[in-house]
């Protein structure tokens, strides 16, 4: 067992990253005046101060770049009176609802299909070319066809998000199954495990980290796509709010939406990483 | 293992079935050509687009304009992002200071800030290329930072102990081990930039292949839209293969 796999060297940087106390030697040589977490907060504060200094008519016209105070005032006003009959929460929820619908459907269909395609030859041969054709295609390019076929309502958006996430999920799930070590499957079979038991106890745990990586990539892609789709054709959602605010030159509302979208994106990525760590806690310990 | 039917036969059968369904549905009058053009319509559309063009520009000219934008945004964004990421990999302080912005920018839907960029820079090329720059930057920065961080510290220490200068360590130890990751990041960034540009041309464009599809769709010329979509898919695959080729030539030592 002294092969290259059991050598600790390839994993050394990952281990050093995971342990907060074990800083890499380069960093240790220099003495740190501030812990990096503070430095991050300080740089965000500096950015906000710089924004404050140049905005609001001091350097840049207020119509082009509203100040943080303007954006805050817009946030309060929208919280109190809403924005053109909708609320910020309502719009965020409709964006997230669309995302959940399209992405959820892609997970429900894509993961089992991908696992099946990874495990047996016939479905892979029959369907892989469709996945390979869809994967590099920018989703917005076929949005107009989906609108033509399904109308401008939520059906075309759900289909678009499904088609965005589906090929990524399928490809990752299939690759996860194909990456399972053959020796493990053979060992389990030799010890008398049934096909179902091999799948449940050997294939699924080995493929799960790859599947989860695919889910994270697919969710990020779907999030970007849902906002683009809402910019194009929607009557609610954060993307609609951005494009509607731009028609009325409400740059404060646009900035507010961008901040909310950025935080949502960070939050979604963080939530999926947390789920990843809880569900596939054996990742990387192969 | 039974080997009754070879894989290529199953693939061929599946492609054939789908093609047959397409031909059957379109020629049998099951679907109107407005929704799904048949093979003959598609071919006619392709020759028209290549020879006469769509609204003043041929298919290749539209595609070329899109690729120029992709090239400008990708090159500037990937270069700036790689430089920033290398510096972040070396300096934990810079990393801590820049990370919040990179992490915020990375998952942010690019089209959301395009609207703001259009207000600031106008509807022309500047706003689109700035958006593509901002789309490529965080992806390239994260790849370069992780590449530097994952450079084996033993080798760096060995080189330093043997009397190498910091620049020599970077040139001969850190750069070669970070380069594969940087180029993988570049491929990822190119894919994102390409997809984003198509979306941007659809939302706010007056030329380019993305705009052509949307405009054709609005006038219910779904044959043009189909040809455009296939062209976008093929160009996307070609771009990715091109970068893969560069990757294989430049970092032929990757994985060893």
pLDDT per residue as tens digits for the range B132-145: 999 999 999 999 99
The DSSP letter of residue B1 is -
Residue showing tokens 């059991």:
A6
Model pLDDT, residue A11: 37
For chain A, the helix, strand and coil percentages under 3-state DSSP, each to the nearest 5: 75, 0, 25
How large is the average pLDDT for residues A197-217?
Answer: 90
| Nearest to A224, CA basis, from B225, B98, B143, B135 | B135
Model confidence band, residue A18 (pLDDT cutoffs 50, 70, 90): very low
Give residue-wise pLDDT tens across range A21-74.
444 444 444 454 566 778 888 888 998 888 888 886 677 787 788 888 888 999
Q: How far is CA A62 from CA A65, A67, A70, B25, in A?
A: 5, 7, 9, 57
pLDDT greater than 80 at residue B31: no
Rounded Cα distance, B42 and B226, in Å: 7
| CB-neighbour burial class of residue A130 (10 A; exposed 0-12, middle 13-18, buried 19+) | middle
Let me know the angle formed at the C-alpha of A46 by A41 and A49, rounded to the nearest 5 degrees: 125
Rounded Cα distance, A27 and A50, in Å: 29
Model confidence band, residue A155 (pLDDT cutoffs 50, 70, 90): very high
- Decide: pTM greater than 0.90: no
Chain A: residue whose CA lies nearest to B121: A64
Model pLDDT, residue B170: 86
Model pLDDT, residue B51: 85
Q: How far is CA B144 from CA A75, B93, B160, B185, B243, in A?
A: 37, 16, 22, 8, 17
pLDDT greater than 70 at residue A8: no
How large is the average pLDDT for residues B220-231?
Answer: 88
Model pLDDT, residue B222: 85
Residues 215-244 of A with CB under 8 A from B: 220, 223-224, 226-228, 231-232, 238-239, 242-243
**Distance from the B203 Cα atom to the nearest Cα atom in chain A, whole angstroms:** 6
Cβ–Cβ below 8 Å for B10 and A126: yes
DSSP letters along B122-185, please? -SSHHHHHHHHHHHHHHHHHHHHHHHHHTS-HHHHHHHHHTT--HHHHIIIIIHHHHHHHHHHH
Model pLDDT, residue A3: 37
Listed range (A169-173, B129-133, B158-162) with the worst mean pLDDT? B158-162
Model confidence band, residue A10 (pLDDT cutoffs 50, 70, 90): very low
How large is the average pLDDT for residues B136-155?
Answer: 91
Q: Which residues of B touch A12 (CB under 8 A)?
A: 152-153
Tokens of A232: 């194009």
Model pLDDT, residue B144: 94
Q: Which residues of B touch A121 (CB under 8 A)?
A: 7, 10
Cβ–Cβ below 8 Å for B109 and A228: yes
| Nearest to A161, CA basis, from A228, A207, A244 | A228
pLDDT greater than 90 at residue A100: yes
> Pick the residue with more confidence: A171 or A14?
A171
Maximum mean pLDDT: which of A273-277, B71-75, B201-205? B71-75
**Interface test with chain A among B104, B107, B169, B238, by most A beta carbons within 10 Å:** B107
How large is the average pLDDT for residues B17-21?
Answer: 90
pLDDT greater than 60 at residue A19: no
| Nearest to A147, CA basis, from A129, A160, A131, A165 | A160
Q: Which residues of A touch B243 (CB under 8 A)?
A: none
Q: Measure CB to CB from residue B111 to each of A9, A136, A231 and give the nearest one.
A: A231
DSSP letters along B186-253, please? HHHHHHHHHHHHHHHHHHS-SSSHHHHHHHHHHTT-HHHHHHHHHHHHHHHHHHHHHHHHHHHHHTTT
How large is the average pLDDT for residues B67-88?
Answer: 94
A32 and chain B in contact, CB less than 8 A? yes
| Nearest to B83, CA basis, from B136, B28, B160 | B136
DSSP letters along B16-78, please? HHHHHHHHHHHHTTSS-TTTS--HHHHHHHHHHHHHT-BTTB-HHHHHHHHHHHHHHHHHHHH
Cβ–Cβ below 8 Å for A140 and B103: no
Model confidence band, residue B256 (pLDDT cutoffs 50, 70, 90): low
Q: Which residues of A touch B188 (CB under 8 A)?
A: none
All domains of chain B in start order, with CATH: 35-250 (1.10.3720.10)
How large is the average pLDDT for residues B225-245?
Answer: 89
Model pLDDT, residue A262: 92
Q: Which residues of A touch B150 (CB under 8 A)?
A: 13
Rounded Cα distance, A128 and B183, in Å: 26
All domains of chain A in start order, with CATH: 67-78+85-279 (1.10.3720.10)
Query: Helix, strand, or coil here: A222?
Result: helix
Model pLDDT, residue A98: 94
Q: Measure CB to CB from residue A39 to each of B5, B93, B149 and give the nearest one.
A: B93
Model confidence band, residue A1 (pLDDT cutoffs 50, 70, 90): very low
Model pLDDT, residue B135: 94
| Nearest to B226, CA basis, from A189, A149, A227 | A149
Q: What ipTM was predicted for this assembly?
A: 0.84
How large is the average pLDDT for residues B46-50?
Answer: 86
Model pLDDT, residue A286: 61
A139 and chain B in contact, CB less than 8 A? yes
A140 and chain B in contact, CB less than 8 A? yes
| Nearest to B42, CA basis, from B29, B33, B51 | B33
A26 and chain B in contact, CB less than 8 A? yes
A267 and chain B in contact, CB less than 8 A? no
| CA A110 to centroid of chain Cα atoms | 16
Chain B: residue whose CA lies nearest to A48: B101
Tokens of B70: 């992709």
Range A214-229 burial, b when 16+ CB lie within 10 A, else e: bbbbbbbbbbbbbbbb
| CA B176 to centroid of chain Cα atoms | 24
Rounded Cα distance, A220 and A234, in Å: 20
pLDDT greater than 60 at residue A6: no
pLDDT, mean over chain B: 87
Rounded Cα distance, A85 and A83, in Å: 5
Residues 159-198 of A with CB under 8 A from B: none
A44 and chain B in contact, CB less than 8 A? yes
Model pLDDT, residue A165: 95
């Amino acid at each position: 067992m002294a092969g290259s796999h059991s050598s600790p060297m390839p994993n050394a940087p990952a281990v050093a990253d995971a342990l907060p106390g074990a800083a890499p030697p380069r960093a240790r040589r220099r003495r740190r005046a501030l812990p990096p977490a503070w430095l991050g907060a300080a740089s965000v504060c500096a950015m906000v101060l710089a924004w404050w200094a140049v905005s609001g008519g001091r350097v840049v016209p207020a119509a082009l770049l509203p100040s943080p105070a303007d954006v805050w005032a817009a946030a309060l006003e929208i919280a109190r009176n809403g924005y053109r009959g909708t609320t910020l929460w309502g719009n965020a929820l409709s964006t997230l609802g669309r995302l959940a619908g399209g992405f959820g459907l892609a997970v429900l269909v894509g993961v089992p299909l991908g696992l099946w395609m990874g495990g047996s030859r016939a479905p892979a041969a029959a369907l892989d070319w469709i996945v390979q054709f869809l994967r590099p295609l920018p989703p917005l390019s076929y949005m107009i066809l989906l609108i033509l076929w399904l109308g401008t309502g939520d059906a075309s958006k759900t289909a678009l998000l499904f088609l965005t996430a589906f090929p990524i999920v399928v490809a990752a799930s299939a690759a996860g199954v194909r990456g399972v070590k053959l020796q493990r499957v053979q060992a389990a079979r030799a010890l008398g495990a049934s096909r179902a038991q091999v799948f449940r106890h050997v294939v699924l745990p080995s493929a799960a980290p790859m599947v989860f990586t695919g889910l994270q990539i697919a969710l990020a892609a779907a999030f970007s796509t849902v906002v683009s789709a809402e910019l194009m054709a929607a009557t609610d959602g954060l993307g609609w709010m951005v494009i509607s605010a731009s028609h009325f030159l409400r740059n404060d509302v646009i900035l507010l939406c961008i901040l909310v979208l950025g935080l949502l994106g960070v939050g979604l990525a963080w939530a999926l990483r947390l789920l990843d760590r809880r569900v596939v806690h054996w990742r990387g310990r192969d | 293992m039974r080997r009754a039917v070879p894989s290529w036969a199953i693939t061929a059968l599946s492609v054939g079935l789908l093609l047959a369904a397409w031909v059957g549905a379109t020629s049998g009058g099951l679907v109107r050509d407005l929704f799904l053009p048949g093979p003959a319509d598609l071919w006619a559309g392709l020759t028209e687009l290549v020879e006469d063009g769509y609204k003043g520009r041929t298919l290749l000219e539209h595609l070329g304009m899109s690729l120029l934008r992709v090239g400008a945004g990708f090159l500037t964004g990937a270069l700036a992002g790689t430089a920033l990421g290398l510096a972040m990999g070396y300096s934990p302080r810079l990393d801590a200071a820049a990370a919040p912005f990179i992490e915020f920018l990375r998952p942010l839907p690019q089209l959301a800030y395009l609207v703001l960029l259009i207000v600031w820079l106008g509807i022309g090329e500047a706003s689109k290329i700035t958006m593509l720059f901002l789309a490529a930057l965080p992806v390239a920065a994260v790849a370069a930072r992780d590449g530097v961080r994952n450079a084996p510290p033993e080798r760096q220490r060995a080189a330093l102990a043997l009397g190498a200068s910091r620049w020599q360590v970077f040139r001969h130890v850190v750069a070669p081990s970070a380069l594969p990751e940087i180029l993988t990041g570049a491929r990822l960034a190119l894919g994102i930039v390409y997809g984003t540009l198509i979306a941007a041309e659809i939302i706010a464009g007056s030329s380019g292949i993305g705009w052509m599809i949307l405009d054709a769709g609005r006038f219910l010329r779904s044959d043009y839209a189909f040809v455009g979509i296939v062209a976008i898919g093929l160009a996307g695959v070609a771009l990715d293969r091109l970068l893969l080729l560069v990757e294989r030539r430049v970092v032929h030592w990757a994985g060893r």
